[in-house]
Amino acid sequence: MNEITVKIQQGEVKRYKDGYPLLTKDCLTNPEVLKKEGQILDVTDERGQFIGKGYHGEQNKGVGWIVSRKPGEKLNQDFIDRLILKAIGVRQGYYEDASTTAFRVFNGEGDGFGGVIIDYYERYYVIHWYSEGAYQFKEQFVDSLLRNSDAIGIYEKKRFAKAGQYVEDDDFVTGEQAPSPLVVFENNVSIAVDLNDGAMVGFFHDQREVRRAILEKHAKGRTVLNTFSYTGVFSVFAALGGSLKTVNVDAANRSKEKTAEQFAMNQLDAEDHDIIVDDAFQFLKRTERRGRTFGMVILDPPSFARTKKTTFSAKKDYKKLLLDAIAVTEENGIIVASMNHAGVAPQRFRKTVGEAFQEAGVPFRVLESFGLPSDFKTDPSFKEGMYLKVLILQRKDG
């Protein structure tokens, strides 16, 4: 494919020269040349001076990614091989750790190629494509994994339907089919995943360190309310860490059987726990009215949520959610507050937390603070990629 040139507006050149990888329409003087996803791009300033090489792929606010800073670089098989080998190399520790068999192998721009993410589950690899343009590199990535990794099977998630939605399809690509469910380990805890059952496989690697902290330090002797519980993995770690009981609340019907399955994987009796399909905001309000409290409340809402009864934006409404959580947390109880909206900086999240406790008139302290684990490698010039902020907070009622 012939390369085309896109030019960065003069006022934005410094930022791109300093390493910013995401091409946005409003930073280009000639976005009209972008007609074909997957097109290889020469990125220059207005005078034609080289900035980088990239590709056209429409994703969220972006229209493409810069993936090399070398003039004349060919974005061919050899280039992809080098990225994959490097990504695998920096994760040797994860590959060698038998107690954790699920982690992220390739984290988009953090590993040099925005728009492509690869996750590892017991020698099965799942590639997430975030644009049709990224998908044009499928053959090279799949081929590279087959030659350079321990892959026995490869799956994919096409996340480029309207507004970044997942394209419903058979996600098996090549190799052996994975069992359903496939059982992986995270710090020796068993987790059931399903690699070919829609957009989500059943758990998120990014909270690994938080789950470990809950198991090792915070759950013992506490009753746990796990809101936005999905498949209940936080609760499994809490239960194994000695919690008295967990109550799981998620709006999705499927959370019920999926959560029971995760408990069963670890020889825990789901009957000892509550798994409730409900709107978490309503559930919190009702719990407060009834005067029921918990020793630990876990808040892991999506950035945006809309149900028949509520609309939630993590950016705007997190303080309200915290107030509701504080109201159902026992004296000296713990709140695990997770914010995964990239648009809220860590300091701003801390401020929101401080304001909520102040408004509630409850003193608190921050026990622990987490960002992304190291397998979620990030690009220092792309702060948006560092989306996860988790605080473990404790009421200090004296």
Interface residues with ligand SAH (CB under 6 A) are: 203-204, 207, 228-231, 233-234, 249-252, 279-281, 300, 302, 305, 307, 310
Sign for the CA dihedral angle at 196, 200, 203, 204 comes to positive
Q: Which amino acid is at 316?
A: K
Question: In this complex, which beta carbon is closest to ligand SAH, that of residue 252 or of residue 366?
Answer: 252
Nearest distance from C-beta of residue 338 to ligand SAH, angstroms: 7
Question: In this complex, which beta carbon is closest to ligand SAH, that of residue 306 or of residue 396?
Answer: 306
Nearest distance from C-beta of residue 227 to ligand SAH, angstroms: 7
Question: In this complex, which beta carbon is closest to ligand SAH, that of residue 91 or of residue 258?
Answer: 258
> In angstroms, rounded to a whole number, what is the distance separating the alpha carbons of residues 80 and 145?
10
Nearest distance from C-beta of residue 228 to ligand SAH, angstroms: 4
Reading across the β-sheet that carries 274-277, which strands appear in turn? 274-277, 245-250, 223-227, 294-299, 329-339, 389-395, 364-370
Question: In this complex, which beta carbon is closest to ligand SAH, that of residue 53 or of residue 205?
Answer: 205
Pairing of strands 274-277, 245-250: parallel
Question: In this complex, which beta carbon is closest to ligand SAH, that of residue 47 or of residue 308?
Answer: 308
How many C-beta neighbours within 10 Å does residue 337 have?
A: 25
Nearest distance from C-beta of residue 275 to ligand SAH, angstroms: 12
Nearest distance from C-beta of residue 91 to ligand SAH, angstroms: 22
Question: In this complex, which beta carbon is closest to ligand SAH, that of residue 62 or of residue 202?
Answer: 202
Nearest distance from C-beta of residue 205 to ligand SAH, angstroms: 10
Contact 7, 367 (CB under 8 A): no
Cα 5 to Cα 36, 48, 126, 379: the distances in Å are: 13, 9, 32, 24
> In angstroms, rounded to a whole number, what is the distance separating the alpha carbons of residues 202 and 181?
10
